[in-house]
Amino acid sequence: MSQFSKSILAGLLYLSQVGAVMAQDSMTYRITENYVPDDLELYNTIVKLDQEFFGYYNECQTQLEKYADFYAEDLEFYHDQGGLSKSKEEIVQSTQKNICGKVTRHLVPDSIEVYPIPGFGAVEMGLHYFINTDNPPDEPRKMGRFIVFWKDGPEGWKISKVVSLH
């Protein structure tokens, strides 16, 4: 098993343990109770990238190309409902078909944690929820956990792996 796979499994285990202790009646959560970024500059960079990426995601009817540019060509997307996808093109097409104009992503405030991965980039973990325009507006929000591996390379920061849990 590669070191990257071990990192993904460790992150999933970590998030599943944390999820068991979170109360579901408040929308203010922290993954780790007393989280403090190891590198504040890196943290701020990744939080800004998350905002930009999901801004394009939420406006993908007109911003699909900018949304797609965030993904690395060798993207791996692990989804607890949809399985594993290794095709950037398929993920973007699926977003266009199933998300654009129908679903918006909302970050749970103060839930992002960022950890450096030397020689690679960073891993971001956090909590978010999605609002589907087809659902009643008073429908309870169901939070999901996410892990994003950000690769810092010659083309800038790119999303190389995503783990999305609902």
pLDDT in tens, 97-143: 999 999 999 999 999 999 999 999 999 999 999 999 988 888 888 89
Residue 62 forms part of a structural domain: yes
pLDDT in tens, 13-61: 444 434 433 334 344 566 778 899 999 999 999 999 999 999 999 999 9
Residue 45: CATH number of its domain: 3.10.450.50
pLDDT at 165 over 70: yes
pLDDT for 3 equals 53
pLDDT for 2 equals 56
Q: Which residue has the higher pLDDT, 8 or 118?
A: 118
* pTM of the full structure: 0.82
pLDDT for 99 equals 96
Cα(38)–Cα(56) distance, rounded to whole angstroms? 28
pLDDT for 141 equals 86
Annotate 22-72 with DSSP letters as a single string.
--SS-S---SSTT---S-HHHHHHHHHHHHHHHHHHHTHHHHHHHHHHTEE
The residues, any chain, with a CB within 8 Å of residue 104's CB and separated by 6 or more, are 58, 130, 131
pLDDT for 17 equals 39
- From residue 68, how far is each of 4, 29, 100, 158 by CA, in Å? 23, 29, 13, 10
Count up the domains in the chain and report the number. 1
Residue 24 forms part of a structural domain: no
Residue 96 forms part of a structural domain: yes
Cα(102)–Cα(109) distance, rounded to whole angstroms? 22
Residue 50 forms part of a structural domain: yes
Residue 118 forms part of a structural domain: yes
Structural domain including 117 reads 3-19+29-165
